Amino acid sequence: MNPEHTHHDHIHILKGLESSDSLKVIETLEELKVSGKVTDIPILIEILHLTWNTEIKSKIIDLFASLKESDAVPLIISAIRDQKYAPELKELVACCWENGLDYSNYLSLFVELLIESDFSIAFEAYTVIMNNEHRIGQAIIDQQIERLQSALATTSDMKRQLLLDVIDFLPSIGK
């Protein structure tokens, strides 16, 4: 298959996301599950942010939850860090543990979300951390444990157990 032709076809598929017909957008999202590219993620994040259609939102979140390309990680992290996407933060953080990609380089971000966010987002960050199977440098582990221990004094009772669980868990992934 001609690469130019493939690129052209992909651009044509993406045009479906611009449709005012929500069924066409949903159909396009289904097609992207099969033929989508990592470079589509910023476009999908923007649609997730702008649409009011719950089915379109759900389809995009499902797509992010099934990502398998490690190149997607920095794009998802960038959206999590962007205040513009604060309304979608819970869903974006949840897709990090759902897709099973390696977010170990961003441990400090998830610890920050665990400490600073409301319970629902904190719980998603907790789940990302607790599902990590990758080794992390001991200095980073020690630094994050210290942050968590400091936060215990001011955290809500509801989040205290989450912090304690992470403090107990982190040494097991240190290298």
Residues 6+ apart with CB under 8 A from 138: 174, 175
Q: Report, as an integer, the average pLDDT of 82-107.
A: 96
- Both tokens assigned to 46: 């923007």
92 with 115, same domain? no
Number of domains in the chain: 2
Q: Which domain holds residue 66?
A: 1-101
Task: Based on the fold, state whether residues 61 and 123 are members of the same structural domain.
Answer: no
Q: Is the pLDDT of residue 9 over 50?
A: yes
Predicted local confidence at residue 3, as pLDDT: 39
Tell me, yes or no, whether 115 and 96 share the same domain: no
Q: How far is the C-alpha of 175 from the C-alpha of 171, rounded, in Å? A: 9
Together in a domain, 5 and 78:
yes
Of 52, 81, 101, which residue sits at a domain end?
A: 101
Helix 54-65 × helix 41-50 angle, to 10°:
150
* C-alpha torsion 169→110→93→159, nearest 10: 70
Q: What length does the chain have?
A: 175
Boundary (domain end) residue, out of 51, 69, 101: 101
d(CA 80, CA 65): 14
Q: How much is the pTM?
A: 0.90
User: Are residues 70 and 132 both part of a single domain?
Assistant: no
Do 65 and 30 lie in a common domain? yes
pLDDT of 112 above 50: yes
